[in-house]
Structure 1
Amino acid sequence: MATNRVAHEPAFVLHRYDWSESSLILETFTRHHGRVALVAKGAKRPSSNFRPVLLPLQPLHVSFGGDAEIRTLKSAEWMGGHVMPTGEALLAGYYLNELLMRLLARDDPHPALFDAYGGAVEVLAGDHAAARGAAQSAAMRAFELILLREVGLLPALDAQTSTLAPVEDARAYALVPEAGLREAEGGENALSGAQWQALQGALDARLPFTAALRQIAGLAAGGNAALRHQLRVLLNYHCGVATLRTRQLMRDLQAL
């Protein structure tokens, strides 16, 4: 069987594990091949060309080959464009990585999601003061929505899931696990039907991430806390956890 070879593939490192005294196993997110596991032989050696390159939240071009579940990394090149996020923005980037690790199957390409991830990371790596505020929050919500849509876990946001009846502008609706979008009950986190329809419109437009980010940021501004809570509950449900590890780490650091 011929060995499969991939050259100059856009990629990000999501996670890395020690494999031996000198090598690493990488979980990467590639644009055309999805989540791919790679072994970086000798990457831990001081003289390795991989050492300064194989960092999370950095755009790379990688070449790899092999037919096994874990393929062999041949080369990796940093593509530049932005520096490493720091502080809360760095933790937010690790949160995005954890979502991808939990929700993406290996070798299942999602080019639109890859582009959205790159856009979100670029926002997180921007001006630190801005990244801690509205820009970071909007980038996170936009990415969460696009991720859920791309993996088939987001119901239509302009209709009630159980009845398919269109949502009404002035009524309040909640997005909940198993039930999808339904009319909100008293005291429940909710957005108006008009807000849900606008979010669906932004997703349907399939705009570049920066344009989608601006739309979603404006649409969610009045109900950001409610949207954040509902997406968090939905993501935790599909990830099979009560709280994601990176979320818990954020809480612990904020408590300190």
Structure 2
Amino acid sequence: MKRVSHEPAYVLHHYDWSESSVIVEAFTRSHGRIALVAKGAKRPSSNFRPVLLPLQQLSLSWSGDAEIRTLKSAEWGGGQVMPTGEALLSGYYANELLIRLLAREDAHPRLFDAYATLVHVLAAQEGESLVAAALRAFELLVLREAGHLPALDVQTLTLGALKGDQPYRLVAEGGLRAAHDDDGAWLLGAQWLSLSRALADEAPLTATLQAAAALPGEQRAHLRQQLRELLHYHCGVGTLRTRQLMMDLQSLQAPSSRSKGAAPLP
């Protein structure tokens, strides 16, 4: 029986399996996304109960060779406190992307490291603009790792070089192409090239975050719109559950808050 010990991991989601146990969807560095049964985790005396929390780095050990393995131990890996508020919802959004776009037991160590960096950014809560740029960077990395992101340094269909001062649009079925007059969202060739270079960096989330944060405000919104359309297409949904939850929560804000102008969704 295969046994894995002390594997760095994060909990993405868990759901009931029996009256006392839960199934845990975990993202691990060396084994990718895996399903684990945590037996007795719902009991008040369980050692799993206070540890199996989202957005906290853990050290997990498990055994078995079936699709769902048996969790043997879980230890807190230390680090940052739990994000709160909209940062927490942003973390749940990142978790949903991993669940929807990554196959089980397909390792993505660089993406795991990027996710760990994203969690630190969310926990620090250093500003809405930084969180938004970090999410754009993470979206790009998830799409690339899942094989859904075309090269951002050439036009997809023609492999023609991008012109720095010309607009280009990223579309789900056609990749990166020259923008049309009726396209509502696009980036200049120089901006796509900057993102492409950042994705190739040794620390891709940090570099891509910086490239996304350097975009002018309107182009940041254009990048968000294009990535959202691409993600919805490959996830097979009109709206991701966590993003719908964010919109629902904003719609419930007090009238006085809305009149002052609610912060846009990251």
Shorter-chain TM-score: what band?
Answer: over 0.9
- The letter of the residue matching 2:143 is L
TM-score where L is the length of structure 1: 0.95
- Which residue in 2 is equivalent to 1:44? 42
Q: How does 1:1-12 map to 2 (within 5 A)?
A: 3-12=1-10
What CA distance in whole angstroms lies between the structure 2 residues aligned with 1:64 and 1:18?
18
Decide whether the 8 Å contact of 1:34 with 1:106 is kept in 2.
yes
User: Which blocks of at least 5 consecutive residues in structure 2 are unaligned?
Assistant: 253-266
- Which residue in 1 is equivalent to 2:145? 150
- Which residue in 1 is equivalent to 2:201? 205
Query: For 1:59, which of 52, 57, 67 is the aligned residue?
Result: 57
Query: For 2:70, which of 60, 72, 78 is the aligned residue?
Result: 72
- The letter of the residue matching 2:111 is L
Q: 2:234 aligned with 1:252, yes or no?
A: no
What CA distance in whole angstroms lies between the structure 1 residues aligned with 2:49 and 2:189?
50
Query: For 1:238, which of 204, 227, 234 is the aligned residue?
Result: 234
Post-superposition CA distance 1:127-150 (Å, at most 9, x none): 3xx34x111001100101111111
What CA distance in whole angstroms lies between the structure 2 residues aligned with 1:206 and 1:212?
11
- Which residue in 1 is equivalent to 2:177? 182
* Cα 1:204–1:222 shift into 2, 3 Å: farther
**RMSD over aligned Cα atoms:** 1.3
Post-superposition CA distance 1:163-207 (Å, at most 9, x none): 000110111000000100001112420000000011101112232
Query: For 2:221, which of 214, 219, 225 is the aligned residue?
Result: 225
Runs of 4+ in structure 1 displaced over 6 angstroms? none
- Which residue in 2 is equivalent to 1:82? 80
TM-score where L is the length of structure 2: 0.91
Decide whether the 8 Å contact of 2:29 with 2:108 is kept in 1.
yes
| Secondary structure of the structure 2 residue equivalent to 1:7 | strand
| Secondary structure of the structure 2 residue equivalent to 1:8 | strand
Decide whether the 8 Å contact of 1:195 with 1:220 is kept in 2.
no
What CA distance in whole angstroms lies between the structure 2 residues aligned with 1:7 and 1:216?
37
* Cα 1:221–1:109 shift into 2, 3 Å: farther
Decide whether the 8 Å contact of 1:62 with 1:73 is kept in 2.
yes
